[in-house]
């Protein structure tokens, strides 16, 4: 059964920590809180970029009011924004107005370095572009702009091997281990 929760409620420490406990269990929560927040953020960023890039490809923006509703699946993972509104915000505006404050909140909730969360956001954007098979110049610019928070989130070596710029911390949980694109893998 899905539920919709206002983002401000979702990010209240008591609510968010209960969600993580239900999702990951007492063996990991709160002992691995930074890892769990990092992992949850990847689901959020994947949903966020799917919605934002799809809107831009359709020639419209996406309006995300400050207290937008987030539809969660029965496990507590984000599915979609509710209600979805067309708007005028471009991807840069969404990055500044939505992602930047969200990343600051998640970092505080889980004692996660903001660089890890920005790395997750950039990795999810790059994966979204591949999955949707689009080359949206506006999105590529976010990934390629030196000094931007998503700059070089992902790179490819001469053999086409994909590497993240920052580690997502998943290696700290034995049953998850290193992700396939971990910068810590040899």
**Per the domain annotation, does 50 fall within a domain?**
yes
Above 80 in pLDDT, residue 87? no
* CB-CB contact of 6 with 67 (8 Å): yes
**Per the domain annotation, does 183 fall within a domain?**
no
- The per-residue pLDDT for range 11-43, each reduced to its tens digit, is 999 999 999 999 999 999 999 999 999 999 999
**Per the domain annotation, does 92 fall within a domain?**
yes
pLDDT, residue 23, reads 94
- Token pair listed for 158: 């001469």
In Å, how far from its chain's centre is CA 173? 19
Above 70 in pLDDT, residue 139? yes
pTM across the whole model: 0.94
**Per the domain annotation, does 132 fall within a domain?**
yes
**Per the domain annotation, does 182 fall within a domain?**
no
**Per the domain annotation, does 185 fall within a domain?**
no
Whether omega before 41 lies within 30 degrees of 0, making that bond cis, reads no
pLDDT, residue 64, reads 81
pLDDT, residue 140, reads 94
Q: How many domains does the chain have?
A: 1
The span from the CA of 27 to the CA of 149, in Å, is 33
H or E element at residue 165: none
- Write out the residue range of the structural domain in which residue 44 sits: 3-172
**Which bin fits 99, alpha (ψ -120 to 50), beta or left (φ > 0)?**
alpha
The span from the CA of 88 to the CA of 163, in Å, is 33
Mean pLDDT of 97-124: 96
Above 70 in pLDDT, residue 86? no
SS3 30: coil
The span from the CA of 74 to the CA of 85, in Å, is 24
């Amino acid at each position: 059964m899905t539920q919709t929760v206002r983002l401000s409620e979702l990010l209240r420490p008591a609510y968010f920590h209960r969600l993580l406990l239900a999702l990951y269990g007492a063996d990991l929560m709160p002992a691995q809180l930074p890892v769990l927040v990092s992992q949850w953020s990847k689901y959020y960023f994947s949903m966020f970029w799917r919605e934002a890039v799809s809107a831009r490809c359709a020639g419209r923006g996406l309006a995300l009011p400050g207290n937008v509703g987030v539809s969660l699946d029965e496990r507590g993972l984000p599915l979609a924004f509710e209600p979805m509104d067309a708007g005028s915000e471009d991807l840069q505006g969404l990055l500044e107005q939505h992602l930047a404050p969200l990343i600051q909140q998640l970092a505080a909730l889980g004692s996660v370095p903001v660089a890890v969360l920005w790395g997750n956001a950039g990795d999810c954007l790059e994966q979204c572009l591949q999955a949707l098979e689009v080359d949206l110049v506006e999105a590529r610019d976010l990934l390629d702009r030196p000094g931007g928070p998503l700059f070089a989130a992902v790179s490819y070596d001469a053999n086409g091997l994909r590497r993240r710029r920052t580690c997502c911390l998943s290696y700290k949980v034995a049953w998850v281990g290193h992700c396939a694109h971990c910068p810590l893998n040899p």
